[in-house]
Amino acid sequence: MNQAPKLRVVVAGGGTAGWMAAAALANTLGSVIDLTLVESDAIGTIGVGESTIPPLLLFNRLLGINEAEFMRATQATFKLGIKFENWKDVGESYFHSFGAAGKDHWSAGFQHFWLSGLKRGHLDSYDEYSLELKAALEGKFAHLPDDRMNYAYQLDSALYAQFLRKKAEGDGAKRIEGRIVQVELDSASGDIAALLLDGDRRIEGDLFLDCTGFRALLIEGALHAGFDDWTHYLPCDSAIAVQTASVRPAIPYTRAIAHDSGWQWRIPLQHRQGNGIVYCSRYLDREAALERLLGSVEGTVLTQPNVIAYRTGVRRKQWHRNCVAMGLSGGFMEPLESTSIHLIQRAVLRLIRMLPGGPVSQRDVTEFNEQTFTDMEQIRDFLILHYKVTNRRDSAFWRQCAEMAIPDSLEQKIELFRETARVFRKNEELFAENSWIQVMLGQGIMPNSHHPVADKLRQDELDRFLTALRSSVSETVAGLPQQMDYISGYCAAKEEAPA
């Protein structure tokens, strides 16, 4: 019998998005598809995404990646959450940690029992019941039995792309060096037929993945998928990034420090620190933003400032005809909650589940787009929460954020928590109940009531319950090593990454 021709998948662009897609496709499908990645060394990548979230562990495991090897190659440290400084108000901070706090009952989350405790004389903050939070603030980390410690990574995204390239090529992906000069469309169907490269080269394909970043050469430049601008919800539109030498042992969390026109990040890797400023150009110009960034960093500056202008929003069609957008070509969510690499991961794994065995099915396209839009809208709402719910009125930027209209979906989530302390996770959304609880409490929302099941416990029962949870967290954290001591024995990088 004659074998059907292999599906020809062409990845346009490298970077984190391109090589995550290529590595996952090559590892999962191997010889079943013909996989080609086209990239040009002359075209730089954004390359500032250094902070990740826990689902990346699953992605790496699916690809059979050894964690210690991966962390050495990417200069990675462990990440237990994000510390938000000056968001609720100037001089105040809170922590959004990974994992869950306390212990839920099937009828009500732990926050209801904590609130009942507050009314009955327990004065300990919600933070005291989070293992990851307490470990992070003490600079500690270790792998624990039963995966009790939820974590992600702080890494060099350019080195991660290099690491994945080796794996993808080892699994059969072909790389072609070249600059895309034109996208050729099929005159009959309107689909993409081929990429025309410099040097009069032509790369044909059946399915094209647009990993060309903000340029979106295929999905927008050739197919005109359209773009929904969300800057009326998320007004920051610019960022500047620099790398500095480390001046102290790396901490296992990212810092997000709000200022009068946006915020700054600090992300510690093994041998350096990533720094950046995110701002709204309506209220802060580039020169002032750069001066503010360089005036606040610690350690010797190792790189030239990387200036990035962007629009927060989403491509109206993530999969259009025979082209799928991956990463920045599909839209942009500012890096406040470290979701950029995660959205690449979700798109790649979703595509693999829906990869056509023949002609592209419009049913697959519709389902892919609906699921992707749901992901991005839910992340959008979580990001808006940080800006909208604040006591800050000290600048025009923060007054705009406090006064802006927000999506009904977010309004419902905020007011439900304010009135009842309830949070519900919908449609496998990325941020689980405890993430919403920590941020809403941290931004200043204190619920007006709690579930009556929490009042069913007698005083002595509630005392034992809450005390046991706090003690378990404290005892576990006391037994953990400092993160950098753990890294030195587990995954210490051999040498400093090139600047």
Tens-digit pLDDT string for the chain (499 aa): 556 789 999 999 999 999 999 999 999 998 899 999 999 987 765 556 589 999 999 999 999 999 999 999 999 999 999 999 999 999 999 999 999 999 999 999 999 999 999 999 999 999 999 999 999 999 999 999 988 999 999 999 999 999 999 999 999 999 999 999 999 999 999 999 999 999 999 999 999 999 999 999 999 999 999 999 999 999 999 999 999 999 999 999 999 999 999 999 999 999 999 999 999 999 999 999 999 999 999 999 999 999 999 999 999 999 999 999 999 999 999 999 999 999 999 999 999 999 988 888 999 999 999 999 999 999 999 999 999 999 999 999 999 999 999 999 999 999 999 999 999 998 888 999 999 999 999 999 999 999 999 999 999 999 999 999 999 999 999 999 999 999 999 999 986 544 4
Among residues 41, 344, 60, 63, the alpha carbon closest in space to that of 175 is found at 41
Question: Measured between alpha carbons, how far is residue 260 from residues 176, 233, 263, 265, 301 in Å?
Answer: 45, 17, 8, 14, 24
According to the model, what pLDDT value does residue 498 have?
47
Q: How far apart are CA 319 and CA 314, in angstroms?
A: 12
According to the model, what pLDDT value does residue 426 have?
86
According to the model, what pLDDT value does residue 45 have?
59
* Token output for 388: 């909208």
188-192-194-196 Cα dihedral, nearest 10 degrees: 110
Q: How far apart are CA 430 and CA 30, in angstroms?
A: 29
Among residues 342, 351, 414, 345, the alpha carbon closest in space to that of 379 is found at 342
According to the model, what pLDDT value does residue 41 have?
85
Beta bridge partners of 195: 183, 203
DSSP H stretches of helix in 3-138: 15-29, 55-62, 67-74, 110-119, 131-137
Domains annotated for the chain, with CATH where assigned, are 7-50+156-230+312-360 (3.50.50.60), 99-149+381-478 (no CATH), 238-309 (no CATH)
Among residues 440, 213, 234, the alpha carbon closest in space to that of 335 is found at 234
Q: How far apart are CA 134 and CA 293, in angstroms?
A: 29
According to the model, what pLDDT value does residue 499 have?
45
Q: How far apart are CA 84 and CA 264, in angstroms?
A: 10
Q: Return the H-helix or E-strand segment holding 320.
A: strand 319-320
Question: Measured between alpha carbons, how far is residue 472 from residues 125, 169, 186 in Å?
Answer: 15, 46, 63
What phi, psi does 377 have (nearest 5°)?
Answer: -70, -40
What phi, psi does 375 have (nearest 5°)?
Answer: -55, -50
Query: Is 103:110 a contact under the CB 8 Å cutoff?
Result: yes
Give the type of residue at 248. R
Q: How far apart are CA 239 and CA 68, in angstroms?
A: 31
Q: Return the H-helix or E-strand segment holding 415.
A: helix 408-420
DSSP state of 222: I
Query: Is 208:12 a contact under the CB 8 Å cutoff?
Result: yes
Q: How far apart are CA 206 and CA 7, in angstroms?
A: 6
According to the model, what pLDDT value does residue 497 have?
45
